[in-house]
Amino acid sequence: MKKILTKKNLYLAGWIIASILFIYIILPVSVPLTVALISAIILEPAVGFLQNRFSLKRKSSVLIVFISFVVIFGAAGSFLTTRLIAESINIINNAPRYINDITTVWFDIQDRFINAAKELPDEVVLEISRRTDEFLATASNDLLAYLNINNIKVLLTNIPSYLISFLVYLIALFLFLLDLPRLRKSVYRHLHERTAEKVNFISSRLSYVLFGFIKAQFLVSLIIFAVSFMSLSFIVPKTAFFISVVIWAIDFIPVIGSIIILGPWALFHLLAGNLALGIKLAILAAVLLIIRRTVKPKLMGTQIGLSALSTLVTMYLGIKVLGLWGFLIGPMILIIFNTAKEAGLIKANFKI
């Protein structure tokens, strides 16, 4: 018992408990600070480049990088917001026509079903009709419940909170960029020289991998957006940008992807008799699905140092075990394991 309860084991247990408390209690309420720290680590190479290339002081380099980041982020956000609002207004103005089209298609489907079900027993027809009516009523009630005035009020009420969080993020990002070297030194002060070398190797490796992961995700999303926008510019030019942004945003959600938008949309037009439009949307959905299933694992694997197979397997297992966040956590666990093995913290050289 005395051998088990050594100082080293007690410290280790304390660190594990502190880490669990941090992950489950502190981390959820400090999202802006966490994102700011991650952003600072990603932007750190740019700061170092300016310091080394132009012999600038750290404060000047940080100021240039921070202002550039804010300007690019603000310009992109302003452009996207303006374009999205314009096309959203267009969609809202045409909403009555869309509803009429959906109603017409639904009545047409009902007529076809009635004609096709003449030879079926009355009980079967009644049961199918009842189930369909229940589904539509449930979907309508859920939609109304989601779009009720209380939810809209809550969303509008939370806007000041979102703005405050964003302001905290920007301030924290600037301060983290200034203090990263000092923070690194304060951590290394509590480590032995050999341990500090391993930690430095792991942190450098993880920083590189994290940057590669974000770069890969950005490149894939850029491909998805470009293909969607170019295709929809010919299919539905008036709302091409808005729908492309929606597809781009949904593509970040694991498993679901753009098929959740294009699939029902294509099916609707096929049922409505617009075969040309329905086929075009179905082809676009298939192309985006192929890009998501083939290009994404390969590109992400290349950028983060994993094979396409390892990336795909860890993403799939992560989603199955941890839910949506497993899409990100799965590959990161394997990366941390490989990095720790390279640093000599994990010994895996064995034979059976």
User: What pLDDT tens digit does each residue of the chain (352 aa) get?
Assistant: 444 456 656 665 666 676 666 666 666 667 788 888 888 887 888 898 899 888 889 999 999 999 999 999 888 878 877 877 776 677 667 766 766 776 677 667 767 766 766 666 777 667 777 777 676 667 666 655 655 556 556 666 776 777 888 899 999 999 999 998 888 888 777 777 777 777 777 777 777 777 777 777 778 888 888 999 999 999 888 788 888 888 887 776 655 667 788 888 888 778 777 888 889 988 988 888 888 777 777 776 666 666 667 767 777 787 777 666 666 677 777 777 777 777 666 666 655 5
Residue 17 lies in a domain: no
DSSP 211: H
Q: Are residues 128 and 207 in the same domain?
A: no
Q: Are residues 93 and 123 in the same domain?
A: yes
Residue 15 lies in a domain: no
- pLDDT for 91: 67
Residue 235 lies in a domain: yes
Q: Are residues 180 and 213 in the same domain?
A: no
Q: Are residues 302 and 222 in the same domain?
A: yes
Residue 23 lies in a domain: no
Residue 19 lies in a domain: no
Verdict on whether the full-model pTM lies above 0.85: no
- pLDDT for 1: 46
Q: Are residues 215 and 338 in the same domain?
A: yes
- pLDDT for 151: 58
Q: Which two tokens stand for residue 10?
A: 């007690």
Q: Are residues 132 and 198 in the same domain?
A: no
Taking only Cα atoms into account, the Rg of the chain, rounded to an integer number of angstroms, comes to: 27
Residue 14 lies in a domain: no
- pLDDT for 338: 75
Return d(Cα 207, Cα 214) in angstroms, integer.
Answer: 11
Q: Are residues 121 and 175 in the same domain?
A: yes
Boundaries of domain holding 161: 30-190
As for how many domains the chain has, the answer is 2
Residues 6+ apart with CB under 8 A from 324: 253, 254, 255
Q: Are residues 197 and 314 in the same domain?
A: yes
- pLDDT for 140: 60
Q: Are residues 170 and 233 in the same domain?
A: no
Q: Of 159, 190, 221, which marks where a domain is finished?
A: 190
Q: Are residues 213 and 308 in the same domain?
A: yes
Q: Are residues 39 and 142 in the same domain?
A: yes
Q: Are residues 39 and 95 in the same domain?
A: yes
Question: CA–CA distance from 195 to each of 133, 172, 227, 339 (Å)?
Answer: 66, 29, 47, 14
Residue 58 lies in a domain: yes
Q: Is the dihedral of CA 188, 193, 196, 197 positive or negative?
A: positive
Q: What angle do CA 123, 126, 128 make, to 5 degrees?
A: 110
- pLDDT for 208: 72
